[in-house]
Structure 1
Amino acid sequence: MINEVNITESRDFQKAYNGFYRIRQRPKEFYETYYSFMEDNKDRSPSFRDTLQHKHNVHGRVEASFSSKLVATINPDLPVWETVVLDNLGLKPPAYYKKDKSERMRFYI
């Protein structure tokens, strides 16, 4: 489906995607940059690392879950990182409130 629409313009796609992954209550800029990155990279299958780094560069946040959802949508062979998955694996991500984001980046990549 992603190759059949312009992701940045298709409100139907965005609504379905947001509903499927339960993405809500984000600033408008988040959605704009997220869907723009997805559209720009849908033919290239971006790596999780590149997507995570992009999210960090744009928003200053380490967004492993959102990054993994984006890459898994483009390439369904890739996993989605969720807290439930981490719990099932007995893993605990670094605390989000820590100022040093590099520790969080290292955990995920």
Structure 2
Amino acid sequence: MTRISLEIDASVPPSGRGCVECLKEGGWWLHLRRCAQCGHIGCCDASPRQHATKHFHETGHPFIASYEPDEAWFYDYRQNAFFDGPELAPPSSHPRHQSVPGPAGAVPSNWMDLLHD
């Protein structure tokens, strides 16, 4: 087994339809990322609170996958590199009808001014 296959658990389902912390805090996100080890859904680095990266720093889980429809990439925080990974347990993305940014009703009208570069 490779290091990557030991740190990715393709059988774990995603933790939900949106960023776990943003939903608890009443925040919002631009795009969603999925931890490939435990299924945690966090918001991307362009989002105000950057919960996917915070999850990596808190847990050491190094691999994320996009949780956006029609995207199938993985990212390794330690190597700062994208890579092809295995098929993860469904669903592979948030529902297509879910707003981006989201969640609906929590996104401020000036959301573009609040994004990180």
Fold match, TM over 0.5?
no
TM-score band, normalised by the shorter chain? under 0.3
TM-score (norm 1): 0.28
Q: Which has the higher contact order (CA 8 A, sep 6+)?
A: 2
Instruction: Tell me which protein shows more strand as a share of its residues.
Output: 2
TM-score using structure 2 length: 0.27
Higher helix share: 1
